[in-house]
Amino acid sequence: MSDTTILRENKPDYADFIEHWRSKYHRTFNLKDPADQATFYEGILEMARHIAYASQTVSVEVAVNNNGVSALSVGSVPKV
């Protein structure tokens, strides 16, 4: 069973968006490549737009090490 099966029953448009987004962006990006850099940026922007539309609240955390940002975490509470 896919993790979007129940979501598809409740909000099929959200499930469609997520599956489409995953097919384009769910991968590792080589940010030394300008095309990959642009694709990464586009993917993050598309997901941020979806989360902002579909959520009640969002928390964002950044993990930092000596060289810069090492992780970004976003948690959202979906609209009911």
According to the model, what pLDDT value does residue 45 have? 98
Max CA distance (Å), the chain: 45
> What are the extents of the domains in the chain?
5-78
The DSSP bridge partners found for residue 65 are 68
Among left, alpha and beta (phi > 0; psi -120 to 50; other), residue 68 is left
Which pTM value belongs to this model?
Answer: 0.89
- What is the per-residue pLDDT across 16-72, written as a single tens digit (0 to 9) for each? 999 999 999 999 999 999 999 999 999 999 999 999 999 999 999 999 999 999 999
